Structures are given as C-alpha cells and as structure tokens.
Structure 1
Amino acid sequence: MQAVAGRSISNTKTHSGVTRLKAPGTCGELVQGALDGQDFLINCPIDLYSYATVKGHPEPGLHISSPGHFSKIRDTLLLASEQHDLELAHELNLFSDIPRGKGMASSSADITAAFMAVNDHCGVSLGMESFASVVTEIEPSDCVNFPGIAHLNHLTGHLFESLPAPTGLKVLIVDCGGNVDTITFDRLRARSIYKAHEAYLRDAVATLKRGLITGDLDAVAYAATCSARLNQQIMFKPQFDPLLQFAMTSGALGVNCAHSGTVLGVLFREADELEAHLRTHIAKRFGDSLQILGTFNVIGGGAHEFE
C-alpha cells in the first residue's frame, strides 16, 4: 500500500469508522456530440459498479491498495486536497466489476466512488458541479456522480440538465474488441463531423429529452440509435449495422454505443423478456466478432452506500 501526500486542512472534521460507496458504470452514452461550440454527452448509467471502502489512517496522505492501477484516483484526490477542504489521511480500497478501456466509464465510476467516499469520511459537502469540475480536470468524464440521466459537458463537468432515468429499460452490452483511451481520442475530427450534422444532433437531443421526460422508451432508443449511427463516421464499428438490423427484427428498441469506446448496447423493454433470445441469436450470428458482456438495467447516476 502506497501513501500519497495531501495538504492538511485543520478545519476539516474526519469521522471514525468505515465509509462504503458504489458508483455506476455506463453503457457508453445515449447521445454525444457538440452544439453551439459546447462538447456534450447524455450519459447512460447502468447497474454495474465500482466499490470504494475508505477508513482513517494514522499517517497523513492517501494509502491506496494497488496504486499503479488507480493513478487517476490519486491525481483527483490530490487536486481536491489543493482546491477544497479535504484532509487526506485515509486508507482506500477499490474493487470494480466494470471492464476497462471499453467506454463503460470505468475510471469515472472508480473516481466517483473513491472521491465521494473520502468526502463523506471527511465530512466535506462538495457540490455536484464542483465535484465534476475536479474530476474533469484529470480526464473527460461521463460524470456518473450526477443523479438521474445527466446532460453535461464531459470536458468541464458543467451540467446542462438532469433528466429522469427511464423505467423498465434494459441493455444487452456487446464488445466489438480492442481498447480505447479517452484521453487520446481524436476530438477535433469528431467536432468537425458534429458541426456538419448539427440539425441531426439537435433533433436527437430533443427526442431523447422528450422520451426521458414522458417515459417514451421508443423515443429514447430512437435518439440513442441516431447518435450511434452518426458515431460510425467517427469510430466505426463494423458490427453496428448488422446488429441494429438484428435487434430491430427481434423486437428490440434500438442500439446505442460508446462514442469513444468499443461497446454497443441493444436496448429493449424489460417487459418484453428478450434477453434469452438476444443472447442466443447474437452468439450464433456474430460468433467471436462480438463478446456478450451482460444485460443490465439503465438507471440514474449517483453514489450509494453498500454493505
């Protein structure tokens, strides 16, 4: 376990005991793009989590198990200790079920669970946008700390709108293979494509918001599919078109994507009970070209306690 030094703030009160928080990953995004000079995404949290356990430590600093694997957490908490009243004298253990490098917000979930757990242990109340601002100084983030479905600038952490999470929407996630580093993602090229399709993007955003507000899952999936289709010009996935065709003929609602990642998500109503059919036929039709990662509920964001 390695200690990371932090600035000591005498007016910060730390409680005893153990703090346990979990934060969700995502199935990519529902919509992503740039409008009016602002990069944005509308995230897609799912019930797949990173788990952080924090307790006090007698020595100053942040004592992280496997620090080499969690350098972004270290960097975030060091930055927070400089910018906010956060005294670091903690032991942090983190476990995650979220695959890495796939566009499923694994780092965002890690950072959210760990950062919020340390905040809670210190008794520090940091506003959601202040929290997101710190996180996005380290790397672009889906900002799964925000409750509900968040429409945000993933480069600055600015929240445009918090939207209600859909009820009864499931997603079967498949991996097209490979890994993507969100920091090295070609954002300039992506912006030029978004600029050429502004009307299309505006319609997708408006349709998605209407669907989330009214509970229209068809509209939610339609907007997500539109955004995933546009993303084919940015990060091409050869499996997208045949998967979409199969999904629609099977009774699913649409397909979303990780816009800077390798996963696709087949969206369907929980009530339609399509999971077994989708799993069986995707495995038969696509073979090794797609790996099924699991089926999850689309939920709202935010960190929550766990036992």
Structure 2
Amino acid sequence: MTTSTSHPHPHPHSHPHPHSSPAPTPGTGHAPSHHGELLQGVFLDTDGRPRAGLVTLPVDTPGTRADFTPRPGTPPDAVAVVPGGRTKAARAARFAVALCAERTGRPACGGTLRLAGGVPLGLGMGSSTSDVLASVRAVADAYGLRLDAGATARLAVRAERASDPLMLDARPVLFAQREGRVLEVLGAALPPLLVVGCLLGGGAAVDTLGLPAPAATGAELRAYARLREQLRRAVADGDAALLGRVATASARRAQHVLRHQEFEGLVALARRTGAVGVQISHSGSVAGVLHDPAVPGVEARADATRRALDARRISYTRTFTVGGDPNSPRGTASPRDGYSWTPKGCSLH
C-alpha cells in the first residue's frame, strides 16, 4: 500500500527537555551521511504535480558532530563556524537560533559552531545536509529542544536549497529534496544488501546545485513512475534483485548528465561478479555494487568485485551491509570485515 504524507515525520511538534535551563547552554548534535541514491528523478505527488524526488541508500558512518557554544549578548546572526567555509551550516545555525528562541522565549544570540566528522565533501554523500542537520540539532540542544523531523527538514531546505532525508529514520522514503517533504513511505526497510563501495571519475567533486534539473516530460514521468512502482514492490517483497534493477536503471538515466566514463564498465563487472545491480550518487561520484547477501557465496562475490574494481582502476572505498529487519543488527548500514574508507588512489576529504 502506498503511504503519502506532507510531513517527513509523524510527530509535528518539538519536544523540550524536561529540565531546561533559562538560558542557552552549549549543545551537541549528530547526523549521519548516505551513500548516494537508489532512485532519483521526477515523480507526481498526491495532487498530480511533478516533484523532484529521491530515495537514498542510508549509511550510519561517516557522520558529522556539531558543537554550538552560545555567546549571550551577541547578535543572533553572529555565528562563527569552525572550520571556516561551512556557510550552509552557519546559515542553518542562524535559522535554528531564531526558531528555538521563538519557541522557548529565550534570548536569540550568536555563538561558535564547531564541526567534526569524516563525511567526504563533494562526492554525493550528503555532506552538506549532514553538516546542516548536526548544526540544527546542536542549536536545538543548546536551547533545550528536540526539533521534529518536519521542522528540521524545513530549516535544511532554507539553508541549502535542497536537502537529503537524513533527518528521518532508516525507512526507505521517496523524498522531495527541494521541498523537504516525504512523497511516499515505501515500506519498513530495504531488502538486505551487501554494498561494495567505490568512486567514479577519480572521486572528483560535483557541484550539486550546478547540475540541470531533471526533465518533467510525459515520457520521463511515465518512466520514473514505473521505477517507483518497481521499487515499492521490491521493498514490499524484500526483493534485492528487483531493487538492483531499479537502481541500475536510475543510475543509467543519470548518465545523461553525469557521463561517468567508467559506468558501463561498472555495470559489466557487477554482472560478472553476480551482483544484482549498481547504485550511484546522482549528484556526485560515489557508487556501489549491490549484492544479495541471501545468495550463497556473497563474501567470495564481494572479494571478486573488489579485485575487478582494482583491475579497472576504479577506487574502492569500503564494503558494508544495509537493509533487512530494522530490529536486527543487520538492519542498519555498517562496515564489514574491518573495511573502512580507503584513500588509495584519490582524496576523500
């Protein structure tokens, strides 16, 4: 069954801490990243209007930590960010200060925002949204609030024009990234997947907002509607093979814009190593070869994939699992066998 909602979270209200102090105190926030998209394109909302939307492949690490230290008496727009240059995070913190001050009645003031974490920049892993979300959560924590996902999504879109759905739980959703709202909850969890991650284009950064907007022609809308229906069915049936076909089809459509020279080679090696498909960032260079862990020999297939990537001089990053029962340890993305981000052949930071 298709579930649609105008809010990214079922709880539309913020929740004050039970023991709030009368003045802002130092606050901390955390946010995950993602591993690109399984599907991205243009989709009709419940009113029949075309909306840009995406379904991300979640991953818990790397992530971002933000620490906000209020400076009482300073102008509310005087937010200094460390390291410098994280302008979207600083902007989000200013917006969050205004909202939190209004909701709590406490003075709005500036402060210092410190960001730490290992989300690579410009690869399409949601580094900007991770910064923004962690910053909003740190400011809210300083004001004794826990903002709901809807409020956080609206702040994120204001701060960066388009936002990934990192403020949501691990459920697969079709998310309107330029509006900060869920178009459809696709189900409880993705089918189990083992992902062998890599980088296309040598890991070169991509200017996300500089990419052309996806087309909204009748043919495009029909094509994305078919992929949406197939992904919905893959989630409902726990069908990793169908999900892999959807992700590969979406990735191939994105090549009209991205034009990764290695893409067809990646698809070919995925086929040879018994993978169910490939996924990419539609606004970056990160990619993954998708394997069904329920099929015997998955570890051997993953090893073969890594060797094939090396033979094609495609930079390998790490291997992780995602999907399955959200209440089991395999229900969240995590590195396997000690693999972690590998700087070999490119710079990930």
Class of the TM-score when normalised by the shorter of the 2 chains: 0.7 to 0.9
Q: Distance in 2 between matches of 1:94 and 1:76?
A: 13
The offset of 1:88, in angstroms, is 4.6
SS at match of 2:303: helix
Does the 8 A contact of 1:22 with 1:49 survive in 2?
no
Q: TM-score, normalised by structure 1?
A: 0.82
Q: Residue 169 of structure 2 aligns to a residue in which SS?
A: coil
1:24 and 2:32 equivalent? yes
Partner of 2:190: 166
Is 1:143 matched up with 2:143? Answer: no
Are residues 1:73 and 2:89 paired? yes
Gaps of 5+ in 2: 1-19, 45-49, 103-107, 333-349
Equivalent residue of 1:183, what SS? helix
Choose the corresponding residue for 2:208, options 182, 185, 204.
Answer: 182
2:279 alignment partner in structure 1 = 256
How do residues 116-127 of structure 1 correspond to structure 2 at under 5 angstroms? 116-127=137-148
Count matched residues: 284
Query: 1:11-48 CA distances to partner (integer Å, 9 max, x unpaired)?
Result: 985575663x4322122111111123211111111132
1:277 paired residue among 296, 300, 304: 304
- Gap change, CA 1:97 and 1:157, over 3 Å in 2: same
Q: How far apart in 2 are the matches of 1:250 and 1:151?
A: 29
Alignment match, 1:85: 101
Residues 47 and 298, structure 1, Cα contact 8 Å, conserved in 2: no
How far, CA to CA, are the matches of 1:49 and 1:81 in structure 2? 26
TM-score, with length taken from structure 2? 0.73
For residues 315 and 254 of structure 2, the distance between their equivalents in structure 1, rounded to whole angstroms, comes to: 20
Q: Where does the alignment leave 5 or more consecutive residues of structure 1 unmatched?
A: 1-10, 303-307
Q: AA paired with 1:45? A: P
Q: Tell me if the contact between 2:191 and 2:239 (Cα under 8 Å) persists in the aligned partners.
A: no
Tell me whether 1:199 sits opposite 2:193 in the alignment.
Answer: no
Deviation at 1:55, TM superposition (A): 5.3
Is 1:297 the counterpart of 2:321? The answer is: yes
CA apart distance, 1:83: 4.1
Contact 1:50-1:109 within 8 A present in 2 as well? yes
Tell me the percent identity: 26
Residue aligning to 1:6? none
The aligned counterpart of 1:215 is 238
